Structure 1
Amino acid sequence: MTAENWQLDNIWLGLGITFAVFSLYYIVAFINNKKTENATDLYLAGRSIGPLVNSLAASSTWMSVATFLGVVALIQQLHLPFVYMWIQLILSVPLLVMLYGASLYRMEVFTSVHFVKQRYGRQSAFLAAGWMLLIMLMYMVGQFIGIAKVFEVLLGLDYTLSLILSAVVITGYITIGGMKGATYNDAIQMVIMMVALLVPLAAILKAMGVSGYWFPPLGYGDMTDALLEKIPTFFDLKYEPRFYLSLFVALTIGTIGLPQLAQRILTSKSIKSARKVVPWFCLWVGIMFLGIYAMGFAGVYHFALLGLELSPEAADKTTLLLNLAYNPDWVSAFVIAGVLAAGVSTIAGLMIGVATVVGHDIVGVIKPEMNEKTQLKYGYFALAGTGVVSLLVSLNPPAFLITSIFWAFGLCATTITPMVVLGVWSTRINSWGAFVGSFVSGALYIVISPYVFGDLSVGTGLVSKLGFAQALISVPVGFIVTILVSFLAERVVVQAASAERSEAQELVERMHGWADVTRVRYDSSTWLLILCGLWVPVLLWGLVPW
């Protein structure tokens, strides 16, 4: 088998699997469309989702098409160090719930941008909305690229036709179903993903002669000696310590602020239900992570034995290539259903997030007098428009599937997470600090990335392309500037800052569930200064040439 031989021979299998999975998604969407009566139903599923379904939906949204495609390609390049990358990602939902999920739930907000509006005012909210739209667009581009590649395999069409077809079909069912339809579809898609990954992988490992094939996540140990003969450095930590710190800064802190995960918490029946999502989420994601790493390991082993060097584009298709090499076409078609499920579920969450930001947080702020019917209309327009914009951007995609996704994580860590987390835990953070910190750090992240001004970029190779090197500079700047400008505003615009602080004191204590408002619980400046001090060495280390 060559890297170019990656299409299904039987096109009817491709058509059949495509029709079957999307028919199911449309049925679920139509059922839930009848239950969508207001903006809360459309954007937050009426706050009615239980922990098991929500954990499956959150896991499904978190996975993305990159899990099956781009992530396995990263394992081809990073080898063992990829484990540290995934550990940082899996921390996101537990930290999200602990740091601000419960607080935002008590406020009955729709999104992080909605929180920013209530906490800091309109200007900061519009800035946050702009960043959020860019973040979600970058994230969504990677998903549409992956889905288009899957349609190439399924139907034998070229990339552009595959992209247009997939975008139309996906946008249609998400627009019809709203958040409730997307949530139940996401839960179904997570089950499809787990079965479509683990069962065919067991067959692949068995065909490779692995004795532990019956438990794929940990059953690939038989291959290690043969692999090390071909790639002796596979288990080496190939990067300097700063790389592993940058994973936490860019990925963990960035994922905390992602809107599609936050909205999963906000759709829960109660705060107690939201907290129960965490252990289930870790279980589902843990199973998938171990299985994906086994798939990546098997891919490295397979191509090392064949003596093939894969291009980034071919590496993205490793999961499909392995199944076409070792399993019959009908099994490969089922795996493709899992890849479709992964991509569609993430796109669903992102599209709902974009629609909420546009329909509720932007249009709703500009036209606060809108009734429920008009809000719903704008929400549906925003959903459809999101699909069109993502399609247009994806027509000329980046060469490496996962690049845009990780770049979005770093931008989110830089611009959204500081203003949200600091605003939840301190009444000393004000609109001046939030706005300037977000604007300055976000602009810095873009300027020093390799995609805008190449001469000003920091880091080298994959570390720079994925946004990790930039995050070590921009994220500390985001936190430090937000804190220091807030303190400066208290001295320069004394009266206005004092009035805003007084309002924030009551708001922050209420969102943490306190019945009695003392106005002093979250008023300390000491821990903020300590936090600045902790970020300074990270910033200085990030400035050192890689």
Structure 2
Amino acid sequence: MTSTQIVPLVVLAAYMLLSVGIGVYASRKQKSGTAKEYLTGGGGVGFWINGFAIFAAFATGGTMLGNIGLSYAGGWGYITAYNAGVAVGYLLTTFFLAKTLRNMNVSTVPEFIKARFKNKGLNIIVPVVIVVTLVAYLVAQMKVGGMIGERLFGIPYTWSVILIGLVYIFYTFIGGMKAVTLTDFMQGLLMIGVIVATGAIALSTNGGGVDSYQLAQELRPQWTAGGDDTPFPFVAYVGGFLVWATVNAVLPHTVMRLFAAKTERTGRASLSLGLGLYVLTAILTCVAIVASTIIITGGGDLENADEVFLIFLENVPKWLMAVAFAGIFAAVMSSVSAMLLGLSAAFSYDFLGEVRPNMTDGAKRAATKWGVLVFGVITLLLSMNPPALLTLLYTAAMGLLASALFFPTLLGVWWKRMTSVGALVGAIAGGASYLVLLWGFSLPALSQILISLPISLIACIVGSLLSKPPTAKDLHRIAIAHEREYTDADAAEAAATYGS
């Protein structure tokens, strides 16, 4: 092993040991031992920790590598459409959903759906959709870990995936949301430091700023091309924007942060901080760093565009490269740990809790913990041979999640006439139409959601209007959540007023 490899390896080893230590610490700090505590970390997370954790959970390995690669291959305008969608999605969640979701006093997105609609079919479909989409998302992130180990240390891709998988599975398994939040906070700090440092280098070399951008534009005109010269049609831009503008409202590893916050105001403020950090990241990575890399490569096409950031890092000081590789691993682990917890919760806490309604809280907690282990292993196996272009892979999966769950969730919060039947047919129509369009038709990338999302909306409205309106009992919890947090006393009052 060369000296170039030793420093990054030492940094990475120290980082992983610290993550494992945080997992052990979080496990010992758990007090009540309930399933809800395992999934929310006790609900006492403050603004700064939660904000950086939200950023780290969302700024995935795809952000660090996939988005940069897509900017290089498809033009920075295309990835900007994605990032604009992310920004709108954060704002939509912050101002229209965060308060009510947090005040519902639930632990997961499917649990909100269950509390709002009380429909057995819906309570089975929703966790299944989440499981399927998050598995695809996890596979995309795991590819990043394999690429780094293979390129930097000469470790075979398979063993690199196994190494990173063992660490994040361990600390998520034993520490739950508390471990995930604390490690995500640490990982968020590391990622921001890496992006700011590498972005500063990109902006200060090759003439810097505007000069660097213009040179990159001359070397690779398609990077800034518009109209018919872009590698993707306009509808693909709109589709990419719409996917991320809607999926944030139902994305488990983002929404669950609201349930972990001290208060709903803290949760909303944390989302705003996470958005600010993400916007900074997007500008530095997808424009400044890509422009610098285009100059390094001469603007030629690359066999694997997902390696653009790795090429850039070969031209920075070795100490920064070492920290940067640890930062990329941090991006992977922060996302996969949060997603793995959300995935396990959807299956064990929500799906099994519906088909086995008499499960004790202890059984739910145990099932969720072991679900972390089982789904962790499954995603490791599926990550051994992933497809190219990470961002397109996981964005396609997010399109399914948004098509099925966005309007049932949004209308469930804001439309009193929304019924369980409307939510059920909306979820089925949106999800099924998206899959039919994705697999049965040759459409531009991500454009399927332009059809499936309106179908879901129409199905929600028609299904609700043709079914019996919700009763005062059905709306009791959501009505309180619009004003304040729903408590056990409110539940007791509802039982006394309306019956169990």
The TM-score, its normalising length taken from structure 2, stands at 0.90
C-alpha spacing 1:248/1:401, structure 2 compared with 1 (3 Å) = closer
C-alpha spacing 1:155/1:514, structure 2 compared with 1 (3 Å) = closer
- Please, which of 1, 18, 24 is the counterpart of residue 12 of structure 2? 18
Could you say which residue in structure 1 is the equivalent of 2:54? 58
Q: Report the residue type matching 1:200 in the other structure.
A: T
- Please, which of 362, 371, 377 is the counterpart of residue 360 of structure 2? 371
Give the C-alpha shift of residue 168 in structure 1: 1.8
Task: Give the match's secondary structure for 2:378.
Answer: helix
Task: Give the match's secondary structure for 1:377.
Answer: helix
- Please, which of 181, 186, 211 is the counterpart of residue 183 of structure 1? 181
Could you say which residue in structure 2 is the equivalent of 1:513? 483
- Structure number with the bigger relative contact order (C-alpha 8 A, sep ≥ 6) is 2
Cα distance between partner residues in 1 of 2:193 and 2:182: 17
C-alpha spacing 1:152/1:375, structure 2 compared with 1 (3 Å) = same
- Please, which of 154, 157, 162 is the counterpart of residue 156 of structure 1? 154
Q: Deviations over 1:301-344 (max 9, x none)?
A: 322x3x53202x2x2111111111x2243321211011011111
Task: Give the match's secondary structure for 1:424.
Answer: helix
Give the C-alpha shift of residue 373 in structure 1: 3.0
Cα distance between partner residues in 2 of 1:42 and 1:431: 29
C-alpha spacing 1:96/1:170, structure 2 compared with 1 (3 Å) = same
Tell whether 2:84 aligns with 1:87.
yes
Tell whether 2:53 aligns with 1:68.
no
Q: Report the residue type matching 1:66 in the other structure.
A: G
Residues 51 and 276 of structure 1 are in contact (CA less than 8 Å); yes or no, is this contact kept in structure 2? yes
Answer with 286-295 or 366-375: which moved more. Answer: 366-375
Cα distance between partner residues in 2 of 1:397 and 1:514: 45
Q: RMSD value over aligned CA atoms?
A: 2.1
- Please, which of 95, 110, 128 is the counterpart of residue 130 of structure 1? 128
Tell whether 2:344 aligns with 1:355.
yes
Residues 113 and 129 of structure 1 are in contact (CA less than 8 Å); yes or no, is this contact kept in structure 2? yes
Residues 205 and 292 of structure 2 are in contact (CA less than 8 Å); yes or no, is this contact kept in structure 1? no
Task: Give the match's secondary structure for 1:256.
Answer: coil
Give the C-alpha shift of residue 514 in structure 1: 7.3
Unaligned runs of 5+ in 1: 1-6, 211-219, 491-496, 516-546
Give the C-alpha shift of residue 402 in structure 1: 2.1
Residues 418 and 460 of structure 2 are in contact (CA less than 8 Å); yes or no, is this contact kept in structure 1? yes
Identical columns (%): 24
Cα distance between partner residues in 1 of 2:269 and 2:310: 35
Could you say which residue in structure 2 is the equivalent of 1:448? 437
Cα distance between partner residues in 1 of 2:484 and 2:360: 32
Residues 427 and 504 of structure 1 are in contact (CA less than 8 Å); yes or no, is this contact kept in structure 2? no
Tell whether 2:378 aligns with 1:382.
no
Paired positions, count: 476
Residues 152 and 162 of structure 1 are in contact (CA less than 8 Å); yes or no, is this contact kept in structure 2? yes
Q: Deviations over 1:108-164 (max 9, x none)?
A: 111110111122222101101111111111111111111111121343122222222
Could you say which residue in structure 1 is the equivalent of 2:498? none
Cα distance between partner residues in 2 of 1:266 and 1:190: 19
Tell whether 2:467 aligns with 1:486.
no
C-alpha spacing 1:46/1:226, structure 2 compared with 1 (3 Å) = same
Q: Deviations over 1:361-394 (max 9, x none)?
A: 1222333443343332112101111201111221
Cα distance between partner residues in 2 of 1:241 and 1:65: 26
C-alpha spacing 1:393/1:333, structure 2 compared with 1 (3 Å) = same
Answer with 235-244 or 273-282: which moved more. Answer: 235-244
- Please, which of 270, 291, 306 is the counterpart of residue 263 of structure 2? 270
Residues 9 and 329 of structure 1 are in contact (CA less than 8 Å); yes or no, is this contact kept in structure 2? no
Tell whether 2:102 aligns with 1:112.
no
Q: Deviations over 1:256-307 (max 9, x none)?
A: 211111001111111121122133223211221221121122222322x3x5
- Equivalent runs, 1:196-235 vs 2, <5 Å: 196-210=194-208, 220-235=209-224
Unaligned runs of 5+ in 2: 486-500
Cα distance between partner residues in 2 of 1:105 and 1:356: 17
Q: Report the residue type matching 1:340 in the other structure.
A: F
Give the C-alpha shift of residue 233 in structure 1: 4.7
C-alpha spacing 1:91/1:191, structure 2 compared with 1 (3 Å) = same
Cα distance between partner residues in 2 of 1:442 and 1:368: 26
Give the C-alpha shift of residue 14 in structure 1: 4.0
The TM-score, its normalising length taken from structure 1, stands at 0.83
Q: Report the residue type matching 1:317 in the other structure.
A: E
Answer with 369-378 or 254-263: which moved more. Answer: 369-378
Q: Deviations over 1:446-485 (max 9, x none)?
A: 1211xx34xx2323xxxx2xxx210111111111111112
Residues 359 and 379 of structure 1 are in contact (CA less than 8 Å); yes or no, is this contact kept in structure 2? yes
C-alpha spacing 1:153/1:476, structure 2 compared with 1 (3 Å) = same
Could you say which residue in structure 1 is the equivalent of 2:36? 40
Give the C-alpha shift of residue 396 in structure 1: 2.2
Residues 140 and 347 of structure 1 are in contact (CA less than 8 Å); yes or no, is this contact kept in structure 2? yes
Give the C-alpha shift of residue 167 in structure 1: 1.5
Residues 33 and 176 of structure 1 are in contact (CA less than 8 Å); yes or no, is this contact kept in structure 2? yes
C-alpha spacing 1:127/1:277, structure 2 compared with 1 (3 Å) = same
Could you say which residue in structure 2 is the equivalent of 1:457? 442
Q: Report the residue type matching 2:442 in the other structure.
A: S
Give the C-alpha shift of residue 8 in structure 1: 7.7
Q: Deviations over 1:59-96 (max 9, x none)?
A: 11110001111110111123231223211112222211
